[in-house]
Amino acid sequence: MEQLDIDGKVVLLGTPAEEGGFGKVKLWEKGAYKGMDACIMCHPAPGPLHSISLTSCLAVIRLEIEYIGHTAHAALSPWEGKNALDAAVLAYTNIALMRQQIKPTHRVHGIFEGRDWAQSIIPDNSKMYYYIRAPTTAEAEETLKRVVPCFEAAALATGTTVKIIRVATGNELVQNKVLEDELSNVVRKKYGYIDYEYGINSASTDFGNISYLMPGLHPGFSIPTVPGGGNHTRAFTDSARTQAAHDACLTVSKALACIGMRVITDGVFLQQVKDAFKEQMKSKT
């Protein structure tokens, strides 16, 4: 850009806390994306070698659930207690059974924990952390309507009190159609091949929220992995530190650089990107 006197600005924006903190959303709220015409990034995943993926990802609704009961001696007078651990176990079971009747593209999963538990005491507290995922935000909202009664029913059955807090909502990833087509063209000519199967299609990312707010592009790229060694495993960490994985990252970065340069230098193309964003978002409102 300096050598050819190209007018424009490239921002390298570090975005921590993707999983638990919705870091990109917080940065957006603080103005970190102000002035940007488009935002592009990438993420590794298993898949065929030299594959760059243009799948979307799942929307996610994050919940925190707390059960409040009453302690009692578990042997001497258990009838005096209201068991918050039982409530969590029952809710967990309710959801496990409900999963049989949800679409295979949807995900409902979580954990539970407690504070100061002991074998001889009826637990008076438990907390659950759950994710509801679906291909679109609207579908996740519909599945949420079925999940919430599972928590409420467990409280009713155990005589405990339940508090359900909606922590955050992550939108599905909207790949800008014009940016997507340009990346596909560049990759097929120079860097490998495009797929619409792998990538982060069944995961979630806070970049989905950004893609609802401005034109965005977020391809996945494959790195060599071992069987059972996908994302969020120790084996994937080992795979990510290999030379082959770094080479794959450099390859997709070069392709994205081509897209960024087109945005900066081609005003007609940029307008097409913005028009596509507006058109795609009509179906989301």
Question: pLDDT by residue (tens digit) across 189-219?
Answer: 998 899 999 999 999 999 999 999 999 999 9
- What pLDDT is recorded for position 261? 96
- Per-residue pLDDT for 156 more than 80? yes
- What pLDDT is recorded for position 68? 98
- What pLDDT is recorded for position 15? 86
Place of tokens 């409530």: 87
Note the CATH number of domain 23-57+173-282: 3.40.630.10
- Rounded distance between C-alpha atoms, residue 200 and residue 170, angstroms: 14
Note the CATH number of domain 59-170: 3.30.70.360
- What pLDDT is recorded for position 135? 97
- What pLDDT is recorded for position 149? 98
- Rounded distance between C-alpha atoms, residue 22 and residue 29, angstroms: 11
Give the mean model confidence (pLDDT) for residues 181-188. Answer: 96
- What pLDDT is recorded for position 272? 98
| Token couple for 247 | 């080479």
- Per-residue pLDDT for 285 more than 80? no
Give the mean model confidence (pLDDT) for residues 172-192. Answer: 95
Per domain, the residue ranges of the chain are 23-57+173-282, 59-170
Selection from 94, 21, 41 nearest residue 216 by Cα: 41
- What pLDDT is recorded for position 56? 95
- Per-residue pLDDT for 20 more than 90? no
Question: pLDDT by residue (tens digit) across 206-254?
Answer: 999 999 999 999 999 999 999 999 999 999 999 999 999 999 999 999 9
Question: pLDDT by residue (tens digit) across 40-99?
Answer: 999 999 988 889 999 999 999 999 999 999 999 999 999 999 999 999 999 999 999 999
Question: pLDDT by residue (tens digit) across 94-136?
Answer: 999 999 999 999 999 999 999 999 999 999 999 999 999 999 9
